[in-house]
Amino acid sequence: MRRKFTRYGLAVLCLLAAVWLWLPEIRPAHGQSGGEDDPEVRVLQGVLTDDTGEAVAGAEVRVTIDGTQQDVANTSHEGSWEVELVELPRNSLRVEYSHPDYDNLPAHGVDSGALDRLLDGAILDQGQLRLRTRPALVLVGILTNEQGQAIVEAEIDVFYDDSAEPVGSAHSLETGLWEVILPRPGAQAPAESVTVEVSHPHFEVDAYQLAPQDVEVLSDGESVNIGQLEMTNRYTLGFWVATLTFVLMLGIIAFERLPNATAALFGIGVVFTTTFFGGEIVPELYIFNFERALAYINWEVIFLVMGMMIVVSVIESTGLFQWLAFMAYRWSRGEPVILVIVLVIITTLASALLDNVTTMLLMVPITLEIAIALDLPPASLLVPEILASNIGGITTLIGTPTNILIGAYADISFNDFLINQTVGVVVALVVMTVYVLWHYRKVFNQGEKGISPTLYAKLEENAKIKNPTVLRKSLFVFAATIFVFAIGENLHMVPAVTALLAATVMLVWVETDVQKMLSLVDWTTLVFFMALFMMVGSIQEVGLIGAVAEGMSNVVGSNLYIGVFMIAFGVGLLSFAIANIPLAASMLPVVEYLSGNISGAASNKILYYSLSMGAAMGGNGLLIGGETNLMTAGVAERAGYPLSFGKFARVSVPVTLLTLLVGSLWLLFRFEVLGG
């Protein structure tokens, strides 16, 4: 029995071995069905991603069996793909991937072990494969106007040959740069010509043909930079609306028909109404949209002014200015000539560090009391204070609103103003003081001299510091602010950040009543600045600034001396009647253009300093030339001592012309002789 079992067992083993050896001969070859009873479908699948691991959708997956393409699939949004194989391979199975935005992966085979698993009915997963992003085919250029300034939001369309529809489009950026993504060769290639068409509401539509060599480069699948394209201004109805509205706004401000902020808001309201209502009916009325208007607002100026308003409001509440006025009277011992010199020095220093209007608002009442006690015409003390206030503010970045505008626009630091303007300002102040003393010499000789006990006691009473602790803290913060202004350039800290930090420290450490302090901020001035920036932007957008710049450039040419005098005296004389803040704001792009045409002017920024002196000193020309002048005259008139237009002009006009001459000569000496 045992022998029989062993024999049968051995026979079975031999039979199994024979079947195993014979099986390769009778099993289906790769690519053949196992018979009609084998309907099973085999599945090949995988995932495609890009260099960063993000899914690649829309890629084409081609499966080739024994050298013949069999199936094609496309990847899903998740990058996955799946191919069902009914016919199986005999010898080879290859997979290839392609996508128009990626370099093709070379076809790869499937090894025999994987084929066996596929034949056994398994799902064969190829796993995750990465496609390398194909560099885009790009046409790049820069759009400028005739003055070389960037054109923003122009539309660029690119056409191949005589195609009716563009093959790519784009809009120019803030720098005038534009780039159009083009279809790559193979999908749609330029045959003979490439045309770039550029359009903008305020410029002529232009079409540029690419050079044959550039077309050939594009045809080879490489990007092309065609450089700078210049567009020509056209004067639309929108140009005339923006120009006339800006002139009207200046007139309203000059003749005080409306508050400054209201006049500027009125102007920008007209511009927006023209654009959004008129422009829909008559496209020629389009000026600019709201997004472009916001782009013209210099937020650095807004935050710098706001921060310094908070700092100054804390200091002025301590009674410091009343104490300074008392000390001026005490130091002068009642001598008019000495008193004028002391008042000029105090006003100059205060105006260099604080707001001019605030300085004079605090100085005028005390000055009136001193003038009355000495039996002097108030104008003999007020006029030199006004002139000193406007001139003294030129020395620092925060001294005048025009300097704040210029500094933010031209990237001129606190130290730059201090180093490059101070000597010229001091000489101008000496000239001004000498002329004033000469003009009022008879008045000063006839007035009372010596200390008035009554006035001295009154000024001493008013000069008491209201809160010594607040004064000490606020002066410490203010001194630290000036120090940081001076070193801010090394810290890469813009002045607006310094002012905001100072205001924050004031609110947290010195005066914690936030509601009270914020109520002292002159919000109407901030609104005026924002509306003014947008109004200047409107005339820049339509091409008025460019036309003025071109006209001045034709006169100045490349002559630095003519440029300095033209800017200083041109802006200065216009500031006699036109508010210097909007005038300076509108002249900034003009000065930028002129600086680019004069050798060395762009690097040393001499024309910007000339603009600073022209705008500030020119504000002294007439009583309507600056806010400080008008405010001082208003306070004096309410006190019963009106400051007439004619009396002021008899002193101010000669002083303005002399100081403009001194300032211009100093700038030329500073940068041409001393070097800068």
| Element holding 141 (H helix, E strand) | strand 137-144
Question: Over the stretch 599-622, which tens digit does the pLDDT of each residue have?
Answer: 888 889 999 999 999 999 998 988
Does 539 map to a domain? no
| 528 inside domain | no
At 332 the pLDDT is 80
- Dist. CA 19–CA 26, nearest whole Å: 10
Residue 543 belongs to a domain:
no
14 band by pLDDT with thresholds 50, 70 and 90: low
pTM: 0.73
**Do residue 486 and residue 599 come from a single domain?**
no
Q: What is the C-alpha to C-alpha distance for residues 328 and 668, in angstroms, rounded to an integer?
A: 35
Contacts of 668-676 with C-beta under 8 Å, sequence gap 24+, read 668/560, 668/561, 668/564, 668/606, 670/420, 670/423, 670/424, 671/420, 671/600, 671/604, 671/606, 672/560, 676/420, 676/604, 676/606
Q: What is residue 103's predicted lDDT score, i.e. its pLDDT?
A: 66
Q: Kindly indicate the confidence band of residue 37, based on its pLDDT and cuts at 50, 70 and 90.
A: very low
The pLDDT value given to residue 25: 44
More confident residue, 304 or 16: 304
Q: Residue 8 falls within a domain, yes or no?
A: no
- Which position has the higher pLDDT, 82 or 276? 276
Instruction: Give the residue, 274 or 136, on which the prediction is more confident.
Output: 274
Q: Which of 480, 496, 512 is the last residue of a domain?
A: 512
Of 204, 230, 256, the residue at which a domain comes to its end is 230
- pLDDT band for 121, please (50, 70, 90 cuts): low
Q: What is the mean pLDDT of residues 287-295?
A: 93
Q: Of residues 367 and 563, which shows the higher confidence score?
A: 563
Same domain, 565 and 590: yes
Residue, of 105 and 72, whose pLDDT is higher: 72
For residue 517, is it within any domain?
no
Q: Is the pLDDT of residue 282 over 90?
A: yes
Show Cβ contacts of residue 495 under 8 Å, excluding neighbours closer than 6 positions: 300, 304, 397, 398, 407, 408, 413, 414, 485, 488
**What tens digit of pLDDT does each residue of 475-492 get?**
999 999 989 988 887 888
- Beta strands across the sheet bearing 42-49: 80-85, 42-49, 123-130
pLDDT at 269 > cutoff 80: yes
pLDDT tens per residue across span 306-324 = 988 888 888 878 888 778 8
pLDDT of residue 243: 95
Instruction: Give pLDDT, residue 30.
Output: 42
Lowest-confidence region among 2-11, 127-136, 398-407: 2-11
pLDDT at residue number 1: 52
The verdict on 314 and 326 lying in the same domain is no
- C-alpha 439/C-alpha 352 separation (Å) is 26
The answer on 335 and 305 residing in a single domain is: no
Do 459 and 598 lie in a common domain?
Answer: yes
Which pLDDT does position 120 carry in this prediction?
A: 66
The pLDDT assigned to 480 comes to 93
Contact criterion met (CB below 8 Å) for 574 and 618: yes
Asked if residue 10 belongs to a domain, the reply is no
Residue for token digits 């009915």? 121
The Cα–Cα gap between 647 and 3 comes to 146
Q: Which domain holds residue 472?
A: 296-318+467-512
Q: How far apart are CA 581 and CA 616, in angstroms?
A: 9
Per-residue tokens: 294: 């916001």
Which pair of tokens denotes residue 166?
């563009």
Say if residue 181 is in the same domain as residue 308. no
Mean pLDDT of 144-168: 87
Give the end of a domain, one of 512, 535, 568: 512
Q: Are 232 and 206 in contact (CB under 8 A)?
A: yes
Are residues 267 and 394 located together in one domain of the fold?
no
- Domain total in the chain: 5
Report which residue type is found at 190: P
**Among the ranges given (103-117, 268-282, 300-314), the one the predictor scored with the smallest mean pLDDT:** 103-117
Which among 83-87, 234-238, 506-510 has the top mean pLDDT? 234-238
Task: For residues 566 and 427, state if they share a domain.
Answer: yes
Q: In this structure, what DSSP letter does residue 135 have?
A: P
Residue 650's identity, in one-letter code, is: R
Under DSSP, the state recorded for 203 is: E
Whether 185 and 99 map to the same domain: the answer is no
Tokens of 128: 């995750």
What are phi and psi for residue 63, nearest 5 degrees? -110, 125
142 within a domain of the structure (yes/no): yes
Alpha-carbon gap, residue 386 to 630, rounded angstroms = 10
**Distance between CA atoms of 220 and 409, rounded to whole angstroms?**
44
Between 547 and 433, residue with greater pLDDT: 433
**Which residues, in sequence order, are bridge partners of residue 174?**
none
Q: What is the CATH number of the domain that holds 118?
A: 2.60.40.10
Q: Which long-range contacts (CB under 8 A, 24 or more apart) does 25-29 make?
A: 29/90
Three-point CA angle 134, 135, 139, nearest 5°: 140
Q: Where are the alpha helices (DSSP H) in 411-467?
A: 414-439, 441-446, 453-462
Instruction: State residue 136's pLDDT score.
Output: 66
Mean pLDDT for 523-532 is 89
In this prediction, residue 283 carries a pLDDT of: 92
Which alpha helices (H) appear in 493-579, and where do they start and end? Answer: 495-505, 514-519, 523-542, 544-556, 560-574
| Stronger pLDDT, 350 or 119, i.e. the higher one | 350
Residue 448's pLDDT band, with cuts at 50, 70 and 90, is: low
635 within 8 A of 643, measured Cβ to Cβ: no
pLDDT number for residue 676: 61
Indicate if the pLDDT at residue 90 is higher than 60: yes
Looking at the predicted structure, is the pLDDT value of residue 536 above 70? yes
DSSP 3-state of 443: helix
Contact 609, 430 (CB under 8 A): no
Question: pLDDT at position 541, please?
Answer: 92
State whether 68 and 123 are in the same domain: yes
Residues 333 and 374 both lie in one domain: yes
Determine, yes or no, domain membership for 12.
no
- Please indicate, yes or no, whether residues 159 and 108 belong to a single structural domain of this protein: no
